[in-house]
């Protein structure tokens, strides 16, 4: 207890937080990198929980990182992308399939962090940001941020099944799943549509839940993440970068400081729809 108190009173900011603010990755990723010995401070291997201040030399995998302390933070960048089926949300893929990161604007000294993933056959809203702190607030299970999906299944849920999914939940191999909301959106023939809200992002959790009920998913689309909805004007394979005012609202919602709004250069960047140029194999 005494050691924790002394650490919290030390000057500067926690290393993993500063690295996340610099857009290197999420805070959880940075904690793992520090524990793996990939980060050095002033020439020595860093330790988890240590603090850094202005003037400290921080390196990741031997590459020097410019510190972005609280006082000098700028507004992070946020992109909304309408993911198509048949794209992966990963930079590393042995099969070299179409990758959502290929279409994103190039960055210097930072990288785009995907807020939540969508599997290969799922479409809909993907959020990218240069802020590891923002990504952490939106993705970490303890913040319980809502994800809303539109799902089409082969078959139709019974009233008892719908009640079970919102009240008692259903047990999967990795734990209980319970929908916060579930509504019947109708259908024709063998296919039926539902809207549902979850507060978690386990791998393929929506598909696995319906499959456990004997209802295979034929289409799945994420339409909302937290307070961010997928705008109807963003068609599949297109993206829009949010303006500073829109980003500020998200930061306020998750309880992060807005920082200093950066100047818009190169003719401006807000609300410009871009056709994603995804590599096809």
* Rounded (10°) CA dihedral 204, 205, 209, 212: 50
CATH number at residue 82: 3.30.2350.10
Same domain? For 97 and 225 the reply is yes
pLDDT score of 267: 28
Q: Are residues 222 and 100 in the same domain?
A: yes
Place of tokens 């980003």: 247
Strand bridging mode 217-225 / 123-129: parallel
Per-residue pLDDT of the chain (281 residues; tens, 9 = 90+): 333 333 334 567 888 888 887 778 888 889 999 999 999 999 999 998 898 887 889 999 998 887 766 544 578 899 999 999 999 998 888 888 889 998 899 887 788 999 988 999 999 999 999 998 899 999 988 899 999 999 999 999 999 999 999 999 999 999 999 999 999 999 888 899 999 999 998 999 999 999 999 999 999 999 999 999 999 999 999 999 999 899 999 999 999 876 533 322 222 344 444 444 333 33
Q: Is 81 exposed, middle or buried (0-12, 13-18, 19+ CB in 10 A)?
A: buried
Could you tell me if residue 260 is inside a domain?
no
Residue 16 is part of a domain; what is its CATH number? 3.10.290.10
One domain, residues 90 and 215: yes
Nearby residues of 26 by Cβ (< 8 Å), 6 or more positions away:
20, 113, 132, 135, 136, 139
Same domain? For 99 and 218 the reply is yes
Whether residue 158 is found in the same domain as residue 217: yes
Shared domain check, 178 and 99: yes
Q: Which of 205, 229, 253 corresponds to the end of one domain?
A: 229
Whether residue 253 lies inside any domain: the answer is no
Task: Indicate which residue of 102, 119, 244, 266 is catalytic.
Answer: 119
Write out 143-157 in H/E/C secondary structure. Answer: HCCCEEEEEEEECCC
Find the domain containing 44 and state its range. 2-72
Question: Does the active-site annotation cover 266?
Answer: no
158 lies in the same domain as 191:
yes
HSE at residue 69, side-chain half, CA atoms within 13 A, is 12
Sheet containing strand 58-60, strands side by side: 44-45, 39-41, 58-60, 63-65
Would you say residue 117 lies in a domain?
yes
102 and 202 within one domain:
yes
Domain assignment of residue 43, yes or no: yes
Would you say residue 236 lies in a domain? no
State residue 183 phi and psi, 5-degree precision.
-135, 145
* pLDDT of 24: 81
| 98 and 61 within one domain | no
What total number of domains does the chain contain?
A: 2
In this structure, the answer to whether residues 200 and 167 fall within a common structural domain is yes
CA contacts within 13 A on the Cβ side of 11: 4
């Amino acid at each position: 207890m005494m050691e924790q108190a002394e650490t919290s009173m030390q000057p500067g900011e926690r290393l993993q937080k500063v690295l996340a603010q610099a857009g290197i990755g999420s805070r959880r990723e940075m904690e793992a990198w520090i524990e793996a010995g990939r980060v050095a401070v002033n020439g020595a291997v860093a330790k988890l929980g240590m603090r850094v201040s202005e003037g400290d030399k921080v390196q990741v995998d031997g590459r020097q990182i410019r510190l972005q302390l609280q006082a000098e933070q700028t507004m992070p960048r946020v992109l909304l992308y309408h993911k198509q089926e048949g794209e992966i949300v990963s930079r590393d893929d042995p099969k070299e399939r179409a990758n959502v990161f290929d279409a994103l604007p190039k960055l210097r000294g930072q990288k785009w962090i995907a807020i939540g993933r969508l599997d290969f056959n799922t479409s809909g809203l993907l959020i990218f940001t240069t802020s590891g702190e923002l990504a952490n607030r939106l993705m970490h299970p303890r913040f319980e941020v809502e994800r809303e999906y539109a799902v089409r299944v082969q078959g139709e849920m019974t009233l008892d099944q719908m009640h079970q999914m919102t009240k008692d939940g259903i047990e999967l191999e990795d734990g209980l799943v319970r929908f916060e909301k579930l509504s019947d959106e109708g259908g024709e023939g063998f296919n039926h549509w539902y809207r549902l809200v979850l507060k978690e992002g386990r791998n393929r959790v929506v598909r696995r839940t319906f499959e456990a009920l004997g209802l295979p998913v034929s289409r799945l689309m994420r339409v909302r993440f937290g307070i961010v909805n997928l705008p109807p004007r963003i068609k599949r394979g297109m993206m829009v970068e949010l303006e500073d005012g829109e980003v500020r609202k998200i930061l306020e919602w998750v309880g992060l400081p807005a920082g200093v709004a950066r100047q818009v250069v190169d003719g401006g960047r807000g609300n410009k729809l871009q056709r994603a140029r995804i590599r096809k194999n």
